Amino acid sequence: MTNKNKDEQIQSEDKQDVTTLAPENTQESIEPEAPTSEAESPQPKSPEFEEKQGKRGVKLGTAAIILALLLGGGMTFMMQKQAGDYEARIARLEAQIKASQSSLSSEMQQVQADTLEQAKTMTHKAEVVLDQQKKSIESLQLAVADVKGRRPNDWLLAEADYLVKLAGRKLFLEHDVVSATRLMESADQRIAALNDPSLVSLRQSMANDITKLRTVPLIDRDG
């Protein structure tokens, strides 16, 4: 009996051991196997990586802003430079126009001064010649009158005397050189028609006066 009880006690202990081990084996079979590689499960991003990514984005944004500012500034600079060039060209053209106007004005003033000086010179010359002609014609009038007195019945001498006196009035009072010259030429033709050798010296004096009258400058006294 004693041996039988010992065997039962041993069997009972063995069953307890088996029962105790069973849950452990069951737990081991239920637990999932741990992943064997890093690629199979995503790793969480570290704060340092996220900080670098943020700084990189800020730098890119800053660079884009700076680039935009540089481009805008460059365009503004080019437009300002072109505007400055246009203004400089306009200023040069205005200066050239003013210089041309000033030069033209100076030239016109010089031409006017020269013309006025020439007119004064011609007037003075004409007055001198007219004064000389006045004396010459006065002498000629006396000579014609003397011949007429010696030949009172010669109507050609009477006409010549009248024409010479009329030429003197045209010249001295009206300053009409053209009419005076024509009247003197008509008087010479009357004397030449007489065909008198004694009147050669008189005709020579008349010819000299006519030549001088033709050289007198014509003066526009109305202008």
- For 84-100, the pLDDT digits (tens) are 777 888 888 888 888 88
Are the CB atoms for 132 and 213 separated by under 8 Å?
Answer: no
CA–chain centroid gap for 126, Å, is 46
Mean pLDDT of 70-87: 76
Are the CB atoms for 177 and 216 separated by under 8 Å?
Answer: yes
186 falls in which pLDDT band (50, 70, 90)? very high
Tell me the pTM.
0.43
Mean pLDDT of 34-60: 59
For 177, counting Cβ atoms within 10 Å of its Cβ (0-12 exposed, 13-18 middle, 19+ buried), the class is buried
